[in-house]
Amino acid sequence: LAKLLRVKQDRIADIMYDLELGNSEYDRVLKADDASLIAMELEYNPVVDDVAAFDIYPEPMPSDQSSLPARPPIVTIMGHVDHGKTTLLDTLRSATVAAGESGGITQHIGAFSVPLNSLSVQTSGTNSKTVTFLDTPGHAAFSAMRARGANVTDIIVLVVAADDGVMPQTREVINLATKDSKVQMIVAINKCDKPGIDATNIKHDLLSEGVELEEFGGDIPCVEVSGLTGLGLDKLMETIIAVAEISDLRAEKNLRAHGHVLEARMEKGKGAVATVLVSRGTLNRGDPIVAGATWAKVRQMTDDKGRAVTSATPGMPVTVSGWDSLPVAGDEVLAPSPSKKAADEVKRAVTNRIREKEAETLMDDVQSINEKRRLDRRRRNDQLLATSSKGGNAAPAPAPAPASASAYAQDEDDGIKELRLIVKADVSGTIEAVVGAIEGIGNKEARVSIIQSGVGDVTDSDVALAKTTDGMILGFNVSVPRNVEGMASQACVPLHVDTVIYRLIEEVTARVTALLPKII
Ligand code: GDP
């Protein structure tokens, strides 16, 4: 930002301090709003670039998703305290270990994948081979994430203990799930291993809470399970898959990664580590990503079994190290375009905008230069008139205005001397300013004539034009490729390129003056 605004980094830090923008360390990632404030403080008129913004935000979802690869459903288990959520998650998690899926212990990273084969789940025609469970403890975390717009869950499994029934937090979950049209709910009546359990009462209670269970003609599936013994867990998994199948969950793999932070913590030797759940695209090791107010260059990625991985596809939770500072759960994870071309385009757009702004300032300068020039001219004329009337004889002087007008016209007919110019500048705003500043240079004997003006670096055709018209090339904030410079010197075409408008004016003035007849 300092580079773009052409100030020292310290100046940015000072402004940030004055504006109370918080941490002004050199590697702080600024949001568009804060960067705009700083730019405005330096009298720029920033525009938040939607093109650049688009470059970091995920592409819109394609309208036809049927050809995209299937992705695992993301499931959150919720329910009243002590109804068995943790036990259920533990059993599901250890099932994946038992199935020989991992080399050892499972790691708690905020989410885990359960391969369908680990619970001998019967599925028909599904493309998805796993189910991803979030195990962020409690639904406070879930609500906090949702409050931040991070709706990562597709399915909520509402756990209701068969020996306890509908409780306050059960109702909260029901409210949450029914309010959100995007999330599907499945009821799991838990602790069904206990003797003397009758789930029918619970189902009726749920019905009176507005939960329309399938067996009563509604569309909410209900399964009887035991997190402790594993009873009915295969049925639960089948139900999850069936619900996911109806939702037809799909996501592109071949895209810049987009996802959310599920958890973040400091780890010894690794620094800030965050669990990222990719929802679209693929996250690769080495990718630069931003999340909230921080960023990472993905250094290491590990899966839920602690195994190192080099990429993460949709629905796959991974821990990511390489963060600049700790991100916050619920932060959106975005990957800027990796293409250098796209990055260059954004940079050019921003630079051009700043140059346009400079051009406006230049325009103001030019206006004051021209105003001064006009005043000078009038003063000289007045002096001239004063001396001629003072030194003149008694005869009345001829009316000065028509006399000088006809003299000027004559001179013009006689072939007034011209400095022919081909003007090049970096942006259209500066072209206007430069032309405005130089076209007024000269007098009735020699003046500037602008043959052509344009945006961009000096080219061979500029040299050709200058040669045929006997003109010179004037450049402002542009460069001259070496071969073009060679052509110009070979063709004896004068070439002056500058980044300072006053020097450009001086150069033109000097050349116009040189055209004037020598006063002997
Ligand atoms: P949470 O607060 O919802 O996470 O509930 P926990 O998983 O911590 O379980 C609370 C208590 O219920 C613990 O003592 C568990 O052992 C017990 N429990 C959980 N699931 C079952 C189950 O399926 N059957 C039986 N009999 N007890 C269970």
- What pLDDT digit, counting tens, does each position of 1-53 carry? 888 888 988 999 999 999 888 887 766 767 778 888 899 999 888 877 655 55
Using the 8-state DSSP alphabet, how is residue 61 labeled?
P
Joined tokens for residue 278: 């990719």
Question: 432 Cβ partners below 8 Å, 6+ apart?
Answer: 359, 363
Joined tokens for residue 210: 């507005």
For ligand 1, residues with CB inside 6 Å are 79, 81-87, 190-191, 193-194, 226-228
pTM, to two decimals: 0.60
Confidence of residue 394 (pLDDT cuts 50, 70, 90): very low
The closest alpha carbon to 95, from 146, 55, 144, 130, belongs to 130
In which residue are the tokens 């090791």 written? 285
Give the pLDDT of residue 49: 64
pLDDT above 60 (res 104) = no
| Complex ipTM value | 0.99
Q: Nearest C-alpha to atom 2 of ligand 1 is from which residue?
A: 82
Question: 207 Cβ partners below 8 Å, 6+ apart?
Answer: 213, 216
Cα–ligand 1 centroid distance for 190 (angstroms)? 8
Mutate to test the pocket of ligand 1, among 82, 92, 172 (most ligand atoms within 8 A of CB): 82
Distances (CA, A) of 454 to 66, 424, 431, 457, 474: 49, 5, 7, 9, 11
Runs of H (alpha helix) within 392-490: 400-413, 428-438, 460-469, 482-490
Across 30-39, 125-134, 200-209, 422-431, the highest mean pLDDT is recorded for 200-209
Cα–ligand 1 centroid distance for 91 (angstroms)? 11
